[in-house]
Structure 1
C-alpha cells in the first residue's frame, strides 16, 4: 500500500511471485509482466495523490508457506474488498504475493 513500494519496479519484483496474477477492481486480469511494467503508473503510487487505506486485515495459514489475506480498502472515496495469496519460497526471497483479487463495494 506504500506509494514508495508501489512506484518501485525493484520492490514489485521483490514482492510479486514470478507466477503472479491479479484480477483488479476493474475486472481486468494482470499477469506478472504486466504488473511489473504498469504498477509504478497505477493510482496510489504517488505520495502526493490519494492513498489506499486498508482496514480489517486478517490472515489464515492455508498450508505451510501459503497464507490467505483478506481486507478492505478505501481509495479516493471508493471501497473494495481484497483477497491475496502469499507464498513463501525460501529464506532468501521470503514471502511473495502469488494472487490478488479486488471486488468493488457499494
Structure 2
C-alpha cells in the first residue's frame, strides 16, 4: 500500500470515528480526533471553533445513540502534502443530504491524524 493510500485511509477512518455517537458524546475521544486549530463551516453557514464544537458535539445530529446518524458515501481523498489529506464525501441524515470537505493533518511522525478544517454544504432535495 502506498503512503498516500495509507494516509487517506487513516483520514477516512478518523472521519468515520467522528460520526460515531460514542465519540461525539465524549470530549476526550473527540479531542483526540480534532486539531486544536480546528474550524468548521457547517451546513447552516455557522462558523465553529474547536472549543465551540467540542462543547456542542454531543447535542448535534449524530450525537445520540438512538437518534439520526450520518450515512456517508462516495469518499475520495488525496494527499495534498506530507501530513495533509483532503477528503470529500456526501452524507445523508434524517433525509437531509450534504456534500462535505475535510482537511486532516498529522504534525510529526509520531502524531495522529486530526481534523483541521471541515465544511458542509446542503444538497437541495431535487439535486443529483
TM-score interval w.r.t. the shorter chain? over 0.9
Q: Hey, which of these two has a bigger chunk of helix by percent?
A: 2
- Corresponding position of 1:40: 58
Q: Hey, which of these two has a bigger chunk of strand by percent?
A: 1
Structure 2: stretches of 5+ with no match in the other structure: 1-18
- Deviation string 1:44-103 (CA, Å, 9 cap, x unpaired) is 111101100000011100000000000000011000000000001235440000000000
Residue 121 of structure 2, aligned match among 96, 103, 106: 103
User: Secondary structure of 2:87's partner?
Assistant: strand
- Corresponding position of 1:89: 107
Tell me the matched-pair count. Answer: 106
Higher Cα Rg: structure 1 or 2? 2
- Corresponding position of 2:88: 70
- Deviation string 1:3-56 (CA, Å, 9 cap, x unpaired) is 111111111110000000000010000001101111111121111011000000
Q: What is the TM-score of this pair, normalised by structure 2?
A: 0.80
Structure 1: stretches of 5+ with no match in the other structure: none
